[in-house]
Amino acid sequence: MNLIIDVGNTFVKLAVFQDDEMVSKISCEIKDFEKKFNSILKSHKKINKSIISSVGFLNSKQFDLVKNALPTLILDSKTKLPFDNLYKTPKTLGVDRIALVCASVKEYPNNDVLIIDAGTCITYDFITQKNEYLGGAISPGIRLRYKTLNNLTANLPLLETEQPENIIGDSTNNAIHSGVVNGVLAEIDGVISQYKLKFPHLTIILTGGDANFLSKQLKSSIFANSNFLLLGLNYILQFNLNE
């Protein structure tokens, strides 16, 4: 069994896989990581290897806890990958983006695939049917847009994410909701349209924390999968073990 550890800026996801099937998943704050990690090991005694993907900050004690308990692969730019990476600055490519591309290789081989991860940032990653990763784009996510409007202006309030009832905001709050949410939807649909002009048989994956909120509102046909990154990390671990 594999233990997949995905470290974000605030939360850590821990998932247990039996071969290709996810059998357990929990999320916790980074401060609670040690307790949750030990709990998972007690609950799943057949876990025998792990992978860590970190865009956040596990401290050295937390890293050592995992490495001392299990053979552990730390995902970085030197990790062997199941695709040709044509990104011009591979050392700066986020490990979360690497994992998403790997998931697309596993789930949709020999396809032109655009993976959209709607989280703190919205990332777009494209891999061709020839298994060549070309890159993509990065833009602010929904919460980041709300926070930026509040932080960089004197009078605009910080609001919770809310689906606008009308494109025309009839109050400051409603205008913010309309601008943020409809702006994100228009961006994503626009990016998809541009890709489809070059790659008409495009497969589109939407994942990340805001995937469920956005999926039913987008005009384009997509596959929504909130566990796509975890699937990719499991595949990377399997791929490296078989090398």
Is 72 annotated in a binding site? The answer is no
Is 146 annotated in a binding site? The answer is no
Is 136 annotated in a binding site? The answer is no
Is 180 annotated in a binding site? The answer is no
Is 16 annotated in a binding site? The answer is no
Is 11 annotated in a binding site? The answer is yes
Give me the phi and psi of 11, to 5 degrees please. -115, 155
Q: How far apart are CA 51 and CA 49, in angstroms?
A: 7
Is 12 annotated in a binding site? The answer is yes
Cβ atoms of residues 173 and 159 within 8 Å? yes
Cβ atoms of residues 113 and 126 within 8 Å? yes
The yes-or-no answer on residue 112 being catalytic is no
Helices (H), 28-134: 33-43, 60-69, 95-107
Is 150 annotated in a binding site? The answer is no
Is 80 annotated in a binding site? The answer is no
Q: Give the SS3 label for residue 119.
A: coil
- 222-237 burial string, b = 16+ CB within 10 Å, else e? bebbeebbbbbbbbbb
133: enclosing H helix or E strand: strand 132-140
Is 10 annotated in a binding site? The answer is yes
Of residues 19, 32, 96, 170, which has the active-site annotation? 96
| CB within 8 Å of 193: residues ≥ 6 apart | 220
Is 87 annotated in a binding site? The answer is yes
Q: Which residues are annotated as a binding site?
A: 6-13, 87, 94-97, 117, 120, 172
Q: Which residues are annotated as a binding site for substrate?
A: 87, 94-97, 172
Catalytic residues: 96
Q: Which residues are annotated as a binding site for K(+)?
A: 117
Q: Which residues are annotated as a binding site for ATP?
A: 6-13, 120
